[in-house]
């Protein structure tokens, strides 16, 4: 009988020890999960909205956002926070309204409408010296300025421009350039004789025609047969060369 009581006592002690060990493991796991959970901060919100808007509108440059209205974050913590934009503005602007859903550990916890002030910083061209209409594009005549492209919507980005462009109009020094200040260099000019080629299978026919308008590479221009006086359309493929496609 004494032996039986001793055996039962040892079993009970082992069970208690195992229970204590399991409780300790469970407590450690809970503490670890809690330690990884954080509240949703304003910086996280701004960062998430910035990345989402940049991808949605395919922005080039540095987008900066600022909340215009006060915002109270969710009163809880989570290991992973996410923002889903449910409704975007049709076009980006300096002030935008975004309807969003907030998710904590993949579970929806709130829906809110955020009003943000936006700036899209990008390098743009400005004239350093006076520019002449028809002059070849030359970066030495220009300078780079950092501008907010959401306010200066017509500004010409500094990534645009090479020797295939010419200045479309005279521009004084010190002025920010716009898309209207640059145009493709015409390979075909109005009034010039151009070579027209037409191909049908292996048959190629060439002739001369009079250009009725200017055209850069890839443009479709009107040309005139000097004998029949009939006009037809052709695509500019090179200097004083156009092609008719069937």
What would the pLDDT profile of 77-107 be if each residue is shown by its tens digit? 999 999 999 999 999 999 999 999 999 999 9
Q: Do 126 and 116 have their domain in common? A: no
CA 137 to CA 39: how far, in whole Å?
53
In this structure, is residue 208 part of a structural domain?
Answer: yes
Phi then psi dihedrals of residue 34, to 5 deg: -65, -40
In this structure, is residue 90 part of a structural domain?
Answer: yes
Q: Do 113 and 63 have their domain in common? A: yes
Q: Do 86 and 128 have their domain in common? A: no
Q: Do 201 and 159 have their domain in common? A: no
Q: Which residue is associated with the tokens 């919100």? A: 45
Which pLDDT does position 10 carry in this prediction?
58
Q: Do 116 and 127 have their domain in common? A: no
Q: Do 50 and 91 have their domain in common? A: yes
Q: Do 52 and 84 have their domain in common? A: yes
**What tokens does 211 get?**
């250009």
Q: Do 157 and 202 have their domain in common? A: no
Q: Which residue is associated with the tokens 């743009």? A: 124
Cβ atoms within 10 Å, residue 42 = 10
pLDDT band with cut points at 50, 70 and 90 for residue 202:
confident
Boundary of a domain, candidates 184, 205, 224: 184
pLDDT tens digits, 98-150: 999 999 999 999 999 999 999 999 999 999 999 999 999 999 999 999 999 99
In this structure, is residue 24 part of a structural domain?
Answer: no
pLDDT band with cut points at 50, 70 and 90 for residue 75:
confident
Phi then psi dihedrals of residue 17, to 5 deg: -65, -45
Domain count for the chain, please give it.
3
> How many Cα atoms are found within 13 Å in the side-chain-facing hemisphere of 230?
3
pLDDT tens digits, 208-232: 999 999 998 889 999 999 889 999 9
Residue 24 pLDDT greater than 50, yes or no? no
C-alpha radius of gyration, the chain, whole number? 35
Residue 232 domain boundaries: 193-244
* CATH of residue 231: 2.30.30.760
In this structure, is residue 29 part of a structural domain?
Answer: no
């Amino acid at each position: 009988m004494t032996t039986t009581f001793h055996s039962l006592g040892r079993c009970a002690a082992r069970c208690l020890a195992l229970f204590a060990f399991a409780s300790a493991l469970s407590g450690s796991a809970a503490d670890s999960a809690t330690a990884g959970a954080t509240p949703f901060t304003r910086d996280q919100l701004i960062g998430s909205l910035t990345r989402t808007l940049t991808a949605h509108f395919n922005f080039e440059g540095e987008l900066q956002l600022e909340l215009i209205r006060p915002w109270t974050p969710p009163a809880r913590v989570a290991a992973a926070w996410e923002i889903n934009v449910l409704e975007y503005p049709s076009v980006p602007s300096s002030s935008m309204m975004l309807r969003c859903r907030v998710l904590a550990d993949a579970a929806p916890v709130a829906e809110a409408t955020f009003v943000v002030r936006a700036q899209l910083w990008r390098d743009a061209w400005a004239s350093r010296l006076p520019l002449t209409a028809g002059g070849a594009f030359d970066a030495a005549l220009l300078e780079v300025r950092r501008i907010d492209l959401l306010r200066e919507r017509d500004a010409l980005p500094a990534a645009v421009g090479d020797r295939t462009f010419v200045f479309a109009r005279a521009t004084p020094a010190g002025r920010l350039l716009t898309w209207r200040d640059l145009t493709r260099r015409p390979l075909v000019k109005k009034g010039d004789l151009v070579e027209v080629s037409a191909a049908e299978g292996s048959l190629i026919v060439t002739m001369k025609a009079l250009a009725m308008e200017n055209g850069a590479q890839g443009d479709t221009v009107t040309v005139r047969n000097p004998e029949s006086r009939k006009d037809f359309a052709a695509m500019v493929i090179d200097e004083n060369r156009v092609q008719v496609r069937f």
